[in-house]
């Protein structure tokens, strides 16, 4: 993997902020886009644009072919069995809301339970709370140890005959913990319960194979995997998706409508009401093709090396506290230095051209567990380098000296 060549594919990486070269370490929030993704968007608007699925004319058919080819690209990328199992949504958040709504409506009632973990993003907590308010379901929470690893014994103990679903993050967006999804799915299945995995932070960084993991549902966002904003994916095993009612009603998701009775469309269209972001899905496919050509194993190895290097260098800074020291960790480092407020650290690093995230990272229950208000988070992508880590370390040392 030749990093200079990769960096050249991302025009934004050569810009400056405050007269300093940009060091972009906020990949957990969103990733930058390679030229091929941006160009696919402009090209399709300029030369193909037409609404999909409905037109007999040339452009509509070409746009439909591109859109459906993107579904196949996603299917292949996560190794799903069929494109019927790939639902396009607006993102991870919408995918989880879709499931909470449809799965909740069909399978959950008063007193039923969903198991989440203490390290979930708000988007994998609040939809279940909305369902709890509507239907009286209960939320059970898998605790973790101080390293940020979920306690598997405690997880097993949470199952009751009212457990209907487990929903956990593959990789924590704060701690970087890689959760043992395959094992957790096996435990859930032993109890006859399906498992939903929030793969927002894993899809960009490690190879994800839904067959191998044997998960029932998996969700992610295009914008975190070098694709455009506004597009996401819900993968679901066909046997589950077949049983779920539609999420929204409208065009595309029907086969026949009369005022007396409407027949819903088949999978995957049953869950895709209205005009989809067909330009965005092409962009997502381009992004997946781009990283596939580099190789997920190479990306994972590069980011792993970078995270190890950064961890070791950061740990040498006096007063450094790193949150999340799981045995298996992704390319996310959350930290605090001495008594310096995360917001001050982030703001001062920004002046040095370094983009990091500060705050609770949409994981306030996790912050409560850690007994803090927030952290500074550096999250790496495939284009980041050790030289950039050196700039971060020098920046933190400089900020530390000011306090
Ligand atoms: N889950 C996790 C683990 C995340 O990191 C994020 C984004 N920070 C989300 C869900 C939500 O993703 P989106 O805002 O793209 O829907």
Co-location of 168 and 146 in the same domain: yes
Query: How far is the C-alpha of 70 from the C-alpha of 300, rounded, in Å?
Result: 23
Residue 114 maps to a domain: yes
Co-location of 304 and 285 in the same domain: no
Q: 208, 199 in Cβ contact below 8 A?
A: yes
Average of per-residue pLDDT across 218-241: 98
Co-location of 228 and 319 in the same domain: no
CATH number, domain containing residue 301: 3.90.1150.10
Q: Is 362 a catalytic residue?
A: yes
Average of per-residue pLDDT across 182-192: 98
Closest CA to 241 of 399, 42, 87, 395: 87
Give me the pLDDT at residue 54, please. 79
Tell me which of 264, 292, 320 is where a domain ends: 292
Closest CA to 99 of 213, 246, 201, 263: 246
Residues in contact with ligand 1 by the CB-under-6-Å rule are 28-29, 91-93, 121, 123-124, 169, 173, 198, 200-201, 221, 362
Residue 128 maps to a domain: yes
Co-location of 361 and 277 in the same domain: no
* Position 234 pLDDT exceeds 80: yes
Phi, psi at residue 212, to the nearest 5°?
-65, -45
Co-location of 160 and 307 in the same domain: no
377: left (phi over 0), alpha (psi -120 to 50) or beta: beta
242-293 pLDDT per residue, tens: 999 999 999 889 899 999 999 999 999 999 999 999 999 999 999 999 999 9
Domain containing 391: what range?
A: 3-27+295-402
Query: How far is the C-alpha of 319 from the C-alpha of 240, rounded, in Å?
Result: 49
Co-location of 261 and 361 in the same domain: no
- Name the catalytic one among 362, 367, 372, 393: 362
Query: How far is the C-alpha of 212 from the C-alpha of 373, rounded, in Å?
Result: 37
90-144 pLDDT per residue, tens: 999 999 999 999 999 999 999 999 999 999 999 999 999 999 999 999 999 999 9
Co-location of 337 and 276 in the same domain: no
Q: How is residue 297 written in tokens? A: 């194993």
Average of per-residue pLDDT across 219-235: 98
Co-location of 223 and 333 in the same domain: no
Q: Indicate which atom in ligand 1 lies nearest the CA of residue 90.
A: 16
Q: Indicate which atom in ligand 1 lies nearest the CA of residue 123.
A: 10
Ligand 1 centre distance from Cα of residue 230 (Å): 12
Confidence of residue 328 (pLDDT cuts 50, 70, 90): very high
Tell me which of 292, 310, 338 is where a domain ends: 292
CATH number, domain containing residue 251: 3.40.640.10
Co-location of 224 and 166 in the same domain: yes
Which residue spans within 237-280 are E strands per DSSP? 254-257, 262-264
Residue 247 maps to a domain: yes
CB atoms within 10 A of CB 138: 15
Ligand 1 centre distance from Cα of residue 92 (Å): 6
- Please provide the DSSP assignment of 5-31 as one string: HHHHT-GGGG-EETTEE-EE-BTTT--
Closest CA to 36 of 294, 381, 360: 294
Domain count, the chain: 2
What is the sign, positive or negative, of the torsion defined by CA atoms of 62, 68, 73, 74?
positive
Co-location of 62 and 102 in the same domain: yes
Residue 32 maps to a domain: no
Query: How far is the C-alpha of 31 from the C-alpha of 252, rounded, in Å?
Result: 31
Co-location of 144 and 237 in the same domain: yes
Q: How is residue 126 written in tokens? A: 């609040």
Query: How far is the C-alpha of 303 from the C-alpha of 308, rounded, in Å?
Result: 9
Percentage of the chain exceeding pLDDT 90: 99
Co-location of 48 and 21 in the same domain: no
Tell me which of 292, 309, 342 is where a domain ends: 292
Residue 259 maps to a domain: yes
Query: How far is the C-alpha of 86 from the C-alpha of 218, rounded, in Å?
Result: 10
Query: How far is the C-alpha of 159 from the C-alpha of 141, rounded, in Å?
Result: 11
* Position 64 pLDDT exceeds 80: yes
Q: 224, 204 in Cβ contact below 8 A?
A: yes
Nearest CA to ligand 1 atom 7: 29
Query: How far is the C-alpha of 207 from the C-alpha of 155, rounded, in Å?
Result: 25
Residue 348 maps to a domain: yes
């Amino acid at each position: 993997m030749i990093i200079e060549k990769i960096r050249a594919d991302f025009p934004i990486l050569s810009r400056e902020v405050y007269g300093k070269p940009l060091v972009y370490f906020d990949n957990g929030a969103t990733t930058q886009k390679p030229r091929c993704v941006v160009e696919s968007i402009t090209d399709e608007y300029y030369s193909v644009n037409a609404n999909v699925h409905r037109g007999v004319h040339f452009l509509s058919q070409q746009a439909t072919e591109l859109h459906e080819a993107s579904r196949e690209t996603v299917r292949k990328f996560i190794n799903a069995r069929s494109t019927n199992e790939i639902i396009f949504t607006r993102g991870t958040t919408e995918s989880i809301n879709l499931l909470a709504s449809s799965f909740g409506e069909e399978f959950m009632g008063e007193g039923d339970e969903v198991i989440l973990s203490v390290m979930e993003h708000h988007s994998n907590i609040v939809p279940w709370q909305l369902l709890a308010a509507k239907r009286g379901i209960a939320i059970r929470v898998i605790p973790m140890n101080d390293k940020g690893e979920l306690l598997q014994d405690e997880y097993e103990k949470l199952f009751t005959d009212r457990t209907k679903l487990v929903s956990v993050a593959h990789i924590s967006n704060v701690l970087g913990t890689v959760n043992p999804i395959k094992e957790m799915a096996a435990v859930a299945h032993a109890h006859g319960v399906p498992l939903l995995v929030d793969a927002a932070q894993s899809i960009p960084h490690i190879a994800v194979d839904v067959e191998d993991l044997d998960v029932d549902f998996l969700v992610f966002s295009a914008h975190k995997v070098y694709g455009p904003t506004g597009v996401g994916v819900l993968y679901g095993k066909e046997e589950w998706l077949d049983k779920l009612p539609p999420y929204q009603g409208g065009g595309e998701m029907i086969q026949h409508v009369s005022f007396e009775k409407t027949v819903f469309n088949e999978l995957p269209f049953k869950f895709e009401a209205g005009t989809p972001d067909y330009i965005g899905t092409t962009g997502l496919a381009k992004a997946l093709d781009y990283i596939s050509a580099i190789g997920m194993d190479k990306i994972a190895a590069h980011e792993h090396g970078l995270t190890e290097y950064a961890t070791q260098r950061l740990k040498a800074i006096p007063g450094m506290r790193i949150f999340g020291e799981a045995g298996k960790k992704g390319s996310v480092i959350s930290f605090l230095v001495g008594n310096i407020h995360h917001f001050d650290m982030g703001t001062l690093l920004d002046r040095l051209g370094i983009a990091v995230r500060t705050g609770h990272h949409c994981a306030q229950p996790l912050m409560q567990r850690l007994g803090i208000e927030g952290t500074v988070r550096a999250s790496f992508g495939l284009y980041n380098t050790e030289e950039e880590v050196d700039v971060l370390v020098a920046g933190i040392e400089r900020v530390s000296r000011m306090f």
